[in-house]
Amino acid sequence: MILKELFNTLTEELGAQRLTPGEPGRPVNGLAVDEEADGWLASDEVVVTSRKTLDIRFLAAVAQEGAPAVVWRSRSETSEEAVRHAEELSLGLLVVPPGVPLRAMLSLFAQNGEGSELLRYSHEAARALIESAGGEGSTSKLADKLAGLLGRSVVVEDSVGRLLAGGDPAKGKSGSQALISTLETHELRASRGSGVEETRRDRRDRYARLPNSFLSVPVERWRVAETELFWTPIGSTRLPAGYLWVDFAGHPLGPEDVVVLYWATRALEAELGKERVRLETELGVRGDFVDDVISGHHGSVDLLLQRARYLGANLSSGALTVVVDIDNFAGYLGRRRMKESAIQELKKRLADAVRIQTRTLFSNYLLGPRSDNVILFLGPSDDVPAGEIMEKALNLASLVQRYVKGLLPDLTISVGIGRFKTDPALLSDAYTEAEVALEIGNRISGPSSISTFEQTGTYKLLFRVLQDDPEELESFYAETLGPVVSYDSRYGTELVQTLVTFLGNDGSTAKTAAELFAHRHTIRYRLERIRELTHLDVDKSEDRERLTLGIKAMQLLGRAPEKPSSFVDR
């Protein structure tokens, strides 16, 4: 045992108060009761004393003999001088109420009795849980076995917030369903924080003493309304494979519970790890397929459809393509300074999030992850005919955005949606359309945009000009709206906003004035100023069309006025 473990046990179980930590990693061989006899204290023994006061000479003497700490059984206040001297000596100092029996402290080092019984229980629990692992539905079997051993309801959550399985000690599902209902009602997920403002967290470690060793599990306890429950990470606390929720049920964890949780998290880590490997392999195969589809290197259409069927999707009647993209991924990584392992985990979590939401709306789909986005091919089915796919796709885009915001609050995604293609040979074109919609949506609306190819209108024509001949689009912008943007940037005027509003109101000066809270004469003055700068008259249909395209070119090129508007015309 080390000093930190002893102090944690004394504070949690016996109500002790720690004043100085000492050297937490120092070994502790036992407790020595303060007495007059020679040789009462050996090296690495913690001193237990009931002296009326702690004088500095006593502290210096026990430190010199090699004691790592002093446990003072007293109700008196410890002097600041004694605390300071203990810190200078690197001596741990703990105060225990005098009513705590001495045998309760001495029993911490018992080599037989409770420790041996707990060790046997540990072996039995490990064997029972291992026997439940492996095979079909092993996560559910483990949850049921665990609930029986703990006598509490449990729920297993994976790393992206899915509730995979529940167990109830009564061998029914009422208890686990009640726990699942609590988690769903209050939107509680260990993977993404509580989501409930009044939730209080109490993070601590729980220990079980075995002969010559300790087992420990990290526990985070949450109280919501009248419900108290806790969770422990499955696997690494930095990147858990999942989380185990347990109904607190009004009574604290005992040593036997800690032993069961210790082995349960290891068994569940192995099961979730196997599922993770399977999913990663499947995602890799899907990613290869998607790369072949969007590049057009998939061979014959029959081979394409055969590979799609192998991956669980029927694309023979065509599909609609959706691209889910992380906004400014390079900037996000620069801010977070993430290691490669964390970057790969982030990409997996995004793919998992998209898959979770997609399967709630679609039964016929194929998903493939790429570098910083996820590609979806949504095919028609009995539940979602071809005519309803676009509407469902828009709904899916909103669901994914909300889910990712809850899972990764500081990350945003945009979604581009192509047109439904009835010919599977045109799936690469469907992807291109979704990419164009995504890019245009980002340029026009910024992060968190949802755009469809059908909505892009003339933007897609200008975008193709931007891709094929950017200088041509720059030249057109300079001939149309460029001077107006420069004027607004220099003088802080609102000519661009006025023009956009005027054109959006079908050339109505009255509607434009009302929307901008300005006088009609002011609107006409601004429009006249635009005519002077561009030599284009908004009252002429051809000039108005050129100005409309100029606005779209400005948006695609990202050339909005730099200075904030001031409602002052010059």
264 located within any domain: yes
Alpha carbon distance 493, 16 (integer Å):
69
Q: How far apart are alpha carbons 86 and 74 in whole angstroms?
A: 17
Round to whole Å and give the CA distance between 536 and 525: 14
Name the pTM for this structure.
0.53
Is residue 461 included in any domain, yes or no? no
CATH number at residue 60: 3.40.1390.20
Per-residue pLDDT at 19 = 93
Does 565 fall in a domain?
Answer: no
Q: Is 281 inside a domain boundary?
A: no
Write the CB contacts of 352 (distance below 8 Å, at least 6 apart in sequence): 158, 159, 160, 162, 279
* Final residue of a structural domain among 58, 77, 109: 109
pLDDT of residue 115: 61
pLDDT band (50, 70, 90) for residue 205: low
**pLDDT per residue over 61-71, tens digit each?**
999 988 999 99
Q: Which of 381, 402, 403 is closest to 392 using CA atoms? A: 381
Q: State pLDDT tens for residues 367-415.
A: 888 777 899 999 999 999 999 999 999 999 999 998 888 777 778 899 9
Q: Does residue 569 belong to any structural domain of this protein?
A: no
**Mean pLDDT along residues 534-549:** 89
**One domain, residues 158 and 242:** yes
Q: Do 10 and 89 share a structural domain?
A: yes
Give yes or no: residues 163 and 302 share one domain: no
Residue 502: inside a domain: yes
Distance between CA atoms of residues 158 and 137, nearest Å? 15
Residue 258 in this model has a pLDDT that exceeds 80: yes
What is the per-residue pLDDT for 105? 79
Q: Residue 548 maps to which CATH number? A: 1.10.10.2840
- Same domain? 122 vs 263: yes
Averaged pLDDT for residues 237-242: 80
One domain, residues 433 and 483: no
pLDDT reported for residue 194: 57
Residue range 555-564, pLDDT digits in tens: 888 887 865 4
Same domain, 67 and 93: yes
- Indicate if 418 and 305 belong to the same structural domain: yes
Q: Which of 246, 275, 304 is the last residue of a domain?
A: 275
Contacts of 208 (CB under 8 A, 6+ apart): 118, 122, 214, 215, 216, 255, 256, 258, 259, 262
Domain shared by 103 and 119, yes or no: no
CB distance 6 to 27 below 8 Å:
no
Q: What CATH number is attached to the domain comprising 447? A: 3.30.70.270
- Give the pLDDT of residue 158: 84
Domain span at residue 221 reads: 114-275
269 and 129 in one domain? Answer: yes
Q: Is the pLDDT of residue 56 over 50?
A: yes
Region 83-109: what's the mean pLDDT?
85
- Tell which of 431, 456, 481 closes a domain: 456
What is the total count of domains within the chain?
Answer: 4
State which H helix or E strand residue 215 sits in: strand 213-224
Regarding whether 305 and 445 lie in a shared domain, the answer is yes
State pLDDT tens for residues 162-190: 888 898 887 666 668 888 888 888 878 88
- Residue 159 sits in a domain whose CATH number is 3.30.450
As a whole-number percent, the residues of the chain with pLDDT over 70 amount to 89
Q: Is 291 a member of any domain? A: no
Tell me the average pLDDT across 468-487.
88
pLDDT band at 83 (very low <50, low <70, confident <90, very high): very high
What is the average per-residue pLDDT within 277-290?
A: 71
What would the mean pLDDT of 192-201 be, rounded to a whole number?
56
Tens digit of pLDDT for each residue in 437-458? Answer: 998 888 888 889 999 998 887 7
Is 451 in the same domain as 481?
no
My answer on whether 254 and 317 are in the same domain is no
Closest CA to 267 of 240, 237, 235, 239: 235
Task: Check: CB of residue 434 under 8 Å from CB of residue 372.
Answer: no
Choose among 471, 319, 331, 448: nearest CA to 392.
319
